[in-house]
Amino acid sequence: MKCRMTLKMLIVDDEPLICQGLSNTIPWEEINIDIVGSANNGKKALEMIEKEPVDIVITDVYMPEMDGINLSKALADCFPNVNIIMISGYEEFEYARQAVRIGVKDYLLKPVDIDELLALVKRVKQQMEETQKEEQAKQETMLTNYLSQQLFHLPDSYNLAGKINSQAYAFRLMLLEKRNYKAVRSVESSDRLKEIIDQFEISSICLETHENQLAVFLYDQQDISDDKINRLVTGIIEACDNQIAISSCYHDLHQVSMLYQELNQRQSFYRGSSKQIITDTEDMPSEIDYEVEKQIVDAISNALFQQDKAEVDKLVKQLFADLEQNQLTLELKKHVIIELLNSIKERGQDSTFENLDFTLDQDIDLLIYNSVDAIQALLLEDLERLIDYLQHSSENHWIIQHAKQYIEKNYQKDIKAVEVAEAHYITPNYFSMLFKQETGYSYSEYLNNIRINKAKELLSGTTNKVFEIAEYVGYREYKYFVQVFKNYVGITPTQFRRLHSIEK
């Protein structure tokens, strides 16, 4: 919620001319003050406030039925957030001082100096805005931590689920994924994205879920209209080349995890296609069992990196025969092929293919081909070129590149050098020598670097307990984690959190 506020104000005085003068002679609209009306005594004022809450009350001290002192006491009890400004004559000066002690913001003496009153109301408004900003910052920090727990399945160490009002916001979830693997991030940072969103006066929280994807939580106290969302999505697409998945409007924060899974599934289905906007209201294509096709896709990827042209050719033809036999639509056939290309690129995206100029490396936009035979021919041609490249490049280099990727994906597990070596069909001793030669680090040094860097992110970006973070990044012994952390960082995890905590 934005902090630029329009405040509601009520004027209370038993002299109609004073009420009229205070209402009409000051340009309240210029400072975003809305005069909701006037009352001639405290009792009437309370009745009006019960029907329509206000932010500021300007009241006289001496009035019939209920004076300003008793009105102030009643407001302090029933409406403690209302800011009270009292005006008094000299004879009621002591009463005004008493009112200040029970919570009146300030008082002015009659006759009222218009400039002084305007300055006072401005000051009260500024204080309210600063208070609201502080409260919003606390709420946003707590909400960010809660969303991180929901999206990344982190433990709820501080019972955020119990502290957050799950029904407090209307929200939508949006996933942005860059469409070009070789390009830098299309949305350079979450700050840049927030600049675009802020133009539409929507509050947002951005979380990077993985290298290619941002999850954006859009929220407000009222429903975010479809029209505003459509204009926002159009603005983001015009500014950057991203595929966007957007949810409908929801009101229960406990649904965030479910929404993310659903949107992620939809975005995964259309990944690599020309589709730019995905919603959770449109019908998905017919579901099919990809299990057999997935096994062949994995086998093709393995054969490619084993540089077995004959096996790749055989498996690709088998894959296309299965796709034809299942009588899938052209779009679903293309989707399976895109999944294969994604699998290959994920295994080689660091540097294996960075110097190649194949269709595979451009936009992976196979949808321009309307013939499955054309896609098969293109795929075989590109895979053959990839094998040629692998055969002429350093075998040691790509083995270590894949070993590094294996470590980075499995660092949370208790992975040993022997396990990584066996996964790449080489002996542990040869792997250790090769790893040190290619990276400059021993296996354990590299693994610890990965784990400690992730621990630093969690220490500075979440409120999880240190021992929970230790387990999350792969250390089963807490004392050993502290020892390794201090060796690499120079200070303990607790000291690091004090220096970089999000609550600082």
pLDDT at 3: 47
- Phi/psi for 59 (5° steps) reads -135, 145
Residues 6+ apart with CB under 8 A from 3: 129, 132, 133, 136
H/E stretch holding 277 reads strand 277-279
pLDDT given at position 393: 57
Please, are residues 236 and 244 in contact by the beta-carbon 8 Å criterion?
A: yes
Question: Containing H/E element for 439?
Answer: helix 428-439
DSSP state at residue 388: H
**Amino acid letter at 425?**
Y
Q: What is the pLDDT at residue 440? A: 86
**Per-residue pLDDT at 358:** 52
Tokens at 469, concatenated = 């973070």
Give pLDDT, residue 186: 42
Tokens of 137: 């910052």
Label the pairing between strands 7-12 and 56-60: parallel
What single letter denotes the amino acid at residue 423? A
Tens of pLDDT, residue by residue, the chain (504 residues): 444 578 999 999 999 999 999 999 899 999 999 999 999 999 999 999 999 999 999 999 889 999 998 999 999 999 999 999 998 876 666 766 677 778 788 888 888 899 999 999 999 999 999 988 888 888 888 888 988 888 887 787 667 767 777 677 899 999 998 754 433 344 455 677 888 898 998 999 998 887 678 899 999 888 888 899 999 999 888 887 788 999 999 998 888 999 999 998 888 766 655 678 889 887 765 545 556 677 888 888 888 877 788 999 999 888 888 877 765 555 667 677 777 777 776 666 544 555 555 564 444 444 444 456 767 777 888 888 888 777 655 556 777 888 888 898 999 998 899 988 887 777 888 888 888 887 888 999 999 999 999 999 999 888 899 999 999 999 999 999 999 999 999 999 999 988 876 554
Which helix (H) or strand (E) element contains residue 203? strand 203-210
Helix or strand (DSSP H, E) at 8? strand 7-12
Q: With beta carbons less than 8 A apart as the criterion, state whether 384 and 368 touch.
A: no
The reported pLDDT for the residue numbered 363 is 43
Q: Are 221 and 112 in contact (CB under 8 A)?
A: no
Quote the pTM value: 0.50
Q: What does each C-alpha distance from 488 to 410, 436, 483, 496 come to in angstroms?
A: 20, 18, 9, 12
Closest to 22 measured CA to CA, from 61, 63, 59: 59
Contacts of 85 (CB under 8 A, 6+ apart): 56, 57, 58, 59, 104, 105, 106, 107, 108, 117, 120, 121, 124
Report which secondary-structure segment, H or E, holds 325: helix 309-325
Give dist(CA 204, CA 171) in Å, integer: 9
- Record the tokens describing residue 310, joined without a space: 């004959």
Looking at residue 378, what is its pLDDT?
78
Predicted pLDDT at 369: 45
Contact 187, 197 (CB under 8 A): no
Q: What is the CA radius of gyration of the chain?
A: 32
Sort strands 170-178 and 213-220 into parallel, antiparallel or unpaired. antiparallel
The residue with tokens 């699998």 is 343
Cβ-contact 124, 57 below 8 angstroms: no
Could you tell me which of 328, 324, 303 has the C-alpha nearest to residue 380? 303
pLDDT at 356: 55
Cβ neighbours, 10 Å, residue 420: 22
- Under DSSP, the state recorded for 112 is P
Strands 203-210 and 213-220, how do they pair? antiparallel
